[in-house]
Amino acid sequence: MNKLELTLALMKPHLVKNPIALQTIRNKIIASNFKIVRSGRKMLNQEDAEKFYEEHKGKFFYNRLLTSMLSGPLEIYVLAREEAIRYWRQLMGPTKVYKAQFDDPSSIRGEFGLSDTRNATHGSDSPESAIREIKILLPDFDFNKWNKDEKIYFENNKVTFNSNQFIHQIDYK
């Protein structure tokens, strides 16, 4: 596998409350040849939510966005594949729910979005955003270790999928 890229995928709180939807999305992730480098569930706090969405501060939807992101736990996935950012955003579909339902009804947001705010999932929009966002959500993620020691195992497919934990684990041998 060439040019493995990382992206941050978040399952937003309303989706985490729907186990069937969550499983459907997990299946789509696997079917789209992503590797799951990290996987976890966590409640965001106000400070991190503000940092995460700082580019949207002052917009009309900012308060309702924060309220919805703080309404329950998120599922957090660090996904890897070539062009991970573009492919994950393609799987998600358009940001706005009516556009998603109309233009791309089988996309994640087309299928599971409830409103422009509760639009099921998040995906980074550039490599710089992915790094910034992973640092906020998973402060222990070690980018040096990933680049130096871990990435090569994923590139050479020396990983095993653990479906219970929804993660690919490195086959150190």
122 binds ligand CDP (CB under 6 A): yes
- Select from Mg ion, ligand CDP, none the partner in contact with residue 111, using the beta carbon and a kind-dependent cut-off of 5 to 8 Å: none
Record the tokens describing residue 130, joined without a space: 């992915």
In contact, 118 and 12? CB cutoff 8 Å: yes
98 binds ligand CDP (CB under 6 A): no
Residue 78: strand pairing partners: 8, 38
Catalytic, 122? Answer yes
In contact, 24 and 105? CB cutoff 8 Å: no
Q: Which is nearer to ligand CDP, 38 or 89 (CB)?
A: 89
Is 109 part of any known ligand binding site? Answer: yes
Report the number of secondary-structure helices (H) and strands (E) in the chain.
10, 6
Record the tokens describing residue 152, joined without a space: 């090569």
Which one among 46, 63, 95, 157 touches ligand CDP, defined by CB under 6 A?
95
Residues that bind ligand CDP (CB under 6 A): 56, 61, 65, 95, 116-117, 119, 122, 125
Residues of each annotated binding site for ATP: 12, 61, 89, 95, 109, 119
